[in-house]
């Protein structure tokens, strides 16, 4: 069995631009499909580069030197869309098949406000330089590798990953307003998810906390809780419908953080030892606290309280803790919880208990 030869190195964006201009880069080999990224995906990649964050490895193959032109060439094995996106942004004139309808884009405001809507030529010189000097991690295969081996490697790279769950698929497909808000809030609340023991490391790696955050944002937008097996399609719809615009973005962001802070201040010691720390139940607790602070319809009806922080009386917090203990110690049917409508039924039980005992 022959050992595959390759070397690991780094190349700057400027290197790829130069190769493309000199026709020394084969960007679309026959074995790669010519897929087209959405503008949001492209915007996210440029923002990643501007911020100096890493992206996946680019795989190239050195080709034999053309004895007539004496020009070396390199073929892209994996990374076609990443490189085409960068070239379309930095040097669109270098692409012979450049199509403005498919290739033209700018960075979106929700990804980077500083450079949003600007072409490369309109950027400050320092940002241009940052982009051109950004280094890709690159693996280069030997020119002795034949096409069958390249195709085999390409297919292996695209088949050995574990299957993506629904949230990971959303992460790959959407880059708009709703996705940005959900991921920003989920990341900023990581300390809560960990300390409350809502999600373990594996669940966070699979983006379970982002899915829960998405569900909570939907609850805030629509002013009601959701149960049922159709939840994934509901989340998909919101990612799609609020891809370009999301009215109440800042209010959702502020209300979310204020609600999480109240939960942490009053329930953080209770949650790790409680059945209520399960993600479905924390969804209900968040909804209860949010309702007590702002009203469940505060976003859906545009009744924004802006910078006002609504305080929850200590007696209400105390009785809510008792109600949570009841959920832990009693069977759901004994306290009127409908398992078929668990979220809504539990929410109603907690709200009614607090009203009755306070």
* Per-residue pLDDT, 131: 98
* Per-residue pLDDT, 291: 95
User: What pLDDT digit, counting tens, does each position of 44-99 carry?
Assistant: 999 999 999 999 999 999 988 877 777 888 999 889 999 999 999 999 999 998 99
Whole-number average pLDDT of the chain: 88
For residues 147 and 161, give the distance between their C-alpha atoms in angstroms, rounded to a whole number: 23
Lowest mean pLDDT among 1-10, 100-109, 229-238, 250-259: 1-10
- pLDDT tier at 164 (50, 70, 90 boundaries)? confident
Mean pLDDT value of segment 215-230: 89
Cα 36–Cα 84–Cα 101 angle in degrees, nearest 5? 50
* Per-residue pLDDT, 3: 65
Please report which residue ranges of 208-277 form alpha helices under DSSP H.
208-222, 231-241, 249-267
Structural element, H or E, at residue 351: helix 342-357
For residues 124 and 119, give the distance between their C-alpha atoms in angstroms, rounded to a whole number: 11
pLDDT over threshold 90, residue 217? yes
For residues 104 and 42, give the distance between their C-alpha atoms in angstroms, rounded to a whole number: 10
Lowest mean pLDDT among 12-26, 45-59, 188-202, 267-281: 267-281
* Per-residue pLDDT, 329: 84
* Per-residue pLDDT, 342: 86
Lowest mean pLDDT among 172-181, 299-308, 315-324: 299-308
* Per-residue pLDDT, 246: 93
For residues 179 and 316, give the distance between their C-alpha atoms in angstroms, rounded to a whole number: 34
pLDDT over threshold 90, residue 326? no
Q: 8: which residues sit within 8 A by CB, 6+ positions away?
A: 137, 138, 139
Contact 132, 47 (CB under 8 A): no
Please give the sequence-ordered ranges of beta strands (E in DSSP) within the chain, or none if there are none. 6-12, 25-26, 58-63, 73-78, 135-141
Contact 238, 180 (CB under 8 A): no
* Per-residue pLDDT, 173: 87
* Per-residue pLDDT, 172: 83
- Going from the C-alpha of 43 to that of each of 201, 287, 298, the distances in angstroms are 29, 33, 32
* Per-residue pLDDT, 155: 65
Mean pLDDT value of segment 176-181: 94
pTM of the model as a whole: 0.78
Please report which residue ranges of the chain form alpha helices under DSSP H.
13-21, 39-50, 80-90, 100-103, 125-133, 147-157, 166-173, 177-188, 190-195, 201-205, 208-222, 231-241, 249-267, 279-294, 314-329, 342-357
Structure tokens belonging to residue 204:
């966070």
- pLDDT tier at 229 (50, 70, 90 boundaries)? low
* Per-residue pLDDT, 336: 79
* Per-residue pLDDT, 242: 94
User: What pLDDT digit, counting tens, does each position of 239-288 carry?
Assistant: 999 998 999 999 999 999 999 999 999 999 989 888 777 888 899 999 99
pLDDT over threshold 80, residue 343? yes
- pLDDT tier at 31 (50, 70, 90 boundaries)? low
- pLDDT tier at 17 (50, 70, 90 boundaries)? very high
- pLDDT tier at 158 (50, 70, 90 boundaries)? low
Query: Strand order in 135-141's β-sheet?
Result: 6-12, 135-141, 58-63, 73-78, 25-26
For residues 157 and 285, give the distance between their C-alpha atoms in angstroms, rounded to a whole number: 42
pLDDT over threshold 80, residue 37? yes
Q: Angle at which helices 249-267 and 208-222 pack, to 10 degrees?
A: 110
pLDDT over threshold 70, residue 307? no
Structural element, H or E, at residue 323: helix 314-329
For residues 116 and 122, give the distance between their C-alpha atoms in angstroms, rounded to a whole number: 11
């Amino acid at each position: 069995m022959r050992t595959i030869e390759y070397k690991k190195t780094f190349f700057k964006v400027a290197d790829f631009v130069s190769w493309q201009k000199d026709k020394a880069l084969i960007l679309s080999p026959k074995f790669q499909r010519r897929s087209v990224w959405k503008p949001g995906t492209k915007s996210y990649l440029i923002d990643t580069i501007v911020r100096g964050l890493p992206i996946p490895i680019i795989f190239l193959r050195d080709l034999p030197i053309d004895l007539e032109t004496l020009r070396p060439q390199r073929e892209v094995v994996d990374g076609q869309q990443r490189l085409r996106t960068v070239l379309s942004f930095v040097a669109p004139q270098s692409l012979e098949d450049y199509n403005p309808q498919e290739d033209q884009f700018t960075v979106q405001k929700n990804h980077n406000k500083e450079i949003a809507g600007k072409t490369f030529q309109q950027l400050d010189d320092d940002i241009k330089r940052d982009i051109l000097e950004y280094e890709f991690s690159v693996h280069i295969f030997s020119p002795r590798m034949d096409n069958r081996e390249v195709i085999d490697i390409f297919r292996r790279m695209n088949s050995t990953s574990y299957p993506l769950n629904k949230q990971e698929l959303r992460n790959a497909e959407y880059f708009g307003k709703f996705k940005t808000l959900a991921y920003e809030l989920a990341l900023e609340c990581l300390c809560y998810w960990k300390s409350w023991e809502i999600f373990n490391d594996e669940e966070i790696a699979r983006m379970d906390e982002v899915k829960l955050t998405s569900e909570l944002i939907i609850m805030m937008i629509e002013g009601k809780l959701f149960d049922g097996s159709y939840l994934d399609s509901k989340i998909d719809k919101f990612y799609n419908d609020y891809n370009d615009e999301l009215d109440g973005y800042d209010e959702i962001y502020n209300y979310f953080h204020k609600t999480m802070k109240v939960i942490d201040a009053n329930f953080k010691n209770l949650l790790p030892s409680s059945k209520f720390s399960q993600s479905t139940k924390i969804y209900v607790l968040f909804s209860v606290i949010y309702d007590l602070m702002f009203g469940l319809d505060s976003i859906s009806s545009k009744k924004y309280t802006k910078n006002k922080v609504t305080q929850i009386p200590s007696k209400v917090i105390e009785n809510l803790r008792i109600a949570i203990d009841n959920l832990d110690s009693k069977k759901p049917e004994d306290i009127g919880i409908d398992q078929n409508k668990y979220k809504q039924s539990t929410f109603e039980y907690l709200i009614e208990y607090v009203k009755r005992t306070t």
